[in-house]
């Protein structure tokens, strides 16, 4: 059984079943009358917080599945709506041929990771714009932040213990790559085994620039912080959402513009 999304203002038998399930779990919605009002919304919020779900007061598939009302917690897939044209408007400086080449791979990776719904699809495309702009996996270029004035390329990364690097040539070998700019020996070793199929990216770091691997890495990164990302976006905090992936605010202006454009184009 699939779930219709239930929210404040809705009514009918599905809402009544939701209210009864909430009451049975100890979250009193008030009268079990089939009217989704403030009391039902408050009970949904309390249940979501109790279960570690996104606390948005909306009873979607995951909330209803947790209440035993539906079999599948899968959210509606947004891949059909995220067209090349939508992605191109989100990334207006990107050659459309690059989007045509990479977008289907990205959407497939998101779907296989259970992240093909609207919010995370928008997050993924906006992240790619902030990280690479070209919509192709790329290697990090030299800059004053990674290369000293008289040093070899990426020498400022060589001894970064926070990245797990162990001296030259780790800085250059494990420089940023892919759609999400995977950086540092530690992260190459950590995320390679999480892919399907698993890869030894510590031994073959250049594989992070293969389109499918780059898309899978981005999906893995997003999946690791899905709840926190969605909570930040629910509250309009694009800075927090960006920081959860980037670790800082680099590219925030591009990320925010892309997300807002996509949000206005994709149906809710």
| Cβ–Cβ < 8 Å for 188, 172 | no
Q: Does 202 lie in the same domain as 100?
A: no
* Alpha carbons 59 and 50: distance in angstroms, whole number: 14
Q: How many domains does the chain have?
A: 3
Q: Residue 246 CB: number of other CB atoms within 10 A?
A: 18
Residue 59, SS3 per DSSP: strand
> Per the domain annotation, does 36 fall within a domain?
yes
What's the domain range around 121? Answer: 84-137+216-265
> Per the domain annotation, does 171 fall within a domain?
yes
Predicted confidence at residue 4, as pLDDT, reads: 83
Q: Does 205 lie in the same domain as 153?
A: yes
Predicted confidence at residue 3, as pLDDT, reads: 64
State the CATH number of the domain containing residue 35: 1.10.101.10
Whether pLDDT at 30 is above 50: yes
> Per the domain annotation, does 260 fall within a domain?
yes
* Alpha carbons 57 and 231: distance in angstroms, whole number: 12
Q: Residue 167 CB: number of other CB atoms within 10 A?
A: 9
Whether pLDDT at 1 is above 60: no
Q: How large is the average pLDDT for residues 118-138?
A: 96
Per residue in 105-124, pLDDT tens?
A: 999 999 999 999 999 999 99
Q: What is the DSSP letter of 257?
A: H
pLDDT class of 74 with cuts at 50, 70, 90: confident
> Per the domain annotation, does 73 fall within a domain?
no
Q: Does 160 lie in the same domain as 149?
A: yes
> Per the domain annotation, does 2 fall within a domain?
no
What is the token pair recorded at 253?
């202006």
| Cβ–Cβ < 8 Å for 114, 239 | no
> Per the domain annotation, does 76 fall within a domain?
no
Tell which residue, 83, 110, 118, has the closest CA to residue 268: 118
Predicted confidence at residue 174, as pLDDT, reads: 98
Per residue in 201-251, pLDDT tens?
A: 999 999 999 999 999 999 999 999 999 999 999 889 999 999 998 888 889
* Alpha carbons 15 and 21: distance in angstroms, whole number: 10
* Alpha carbons 22 and 146: distance in angstroms, whole number: 53
Q: Does 196 lie in the same domain as 239?
A: no
Predicted confidence at residue 84, as pLDDT, reads: 98
pTM of the model: 0.82
The torsion defined by the Cα of 60, 116, 163 and 232, in degrees rounded to 10, comes to: -40
Q: Does 245 lie in the same domain as 147?
A: no
């Amino acid at each position: 059984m699939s779930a219709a999304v239930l929210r404040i203002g809705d009514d009918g038998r599905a809402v009544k079943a939701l209210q009864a399930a909430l009451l049975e779990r100890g979250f009193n919605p008030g009268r079990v009358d089939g009217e989704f009002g403030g009391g039902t919304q408050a009970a949904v919020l309390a249940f979501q917080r109790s279960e570690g779900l996104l606390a948005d007061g909306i009873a979607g598939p995951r909330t209803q599945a947790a209440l035993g009302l539906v079999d599948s917690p899968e959210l509606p897939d947004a891949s059909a709506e995220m067209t090349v044209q939508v992605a191109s408007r989100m990334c207006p400086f990107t050659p459309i041929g690059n989007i045509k080449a990479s977008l289907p791979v990205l959407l497939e990776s998101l779907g296989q990771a259970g992240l093909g719904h609207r919010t995370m699809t928008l997050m993924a495309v906006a992240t790619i714009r902030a990280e690479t702009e070209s919509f192709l996996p790329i290697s990090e270029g030299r800059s004053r932040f990674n290369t000293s004035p008289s040093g070899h390329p990426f020498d400022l990364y060589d001894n970064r213990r926070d990245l797990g690097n162990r001296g030259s040539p780790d800085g250059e070998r494990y420089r940023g790559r892919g759609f999400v700019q995977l950086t540092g020996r530690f992260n190459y070793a950590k995320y390679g085994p999480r892919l399907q199929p698993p890869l030894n990216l510590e031994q073959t770091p250049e594989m992070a620039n293969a389109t499918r691997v780059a898309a899978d890495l981005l999906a893995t990164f997003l999946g690791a912080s899905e709840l926190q990302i969605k909570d930040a976006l629910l509250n309009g905090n694009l800075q927090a959402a960006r920081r959860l992936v980037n670790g800082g605010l680099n590219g925030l202006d591009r990320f925010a513009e892309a997300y807002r454009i996509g949000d206005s184009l994709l149906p809710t």
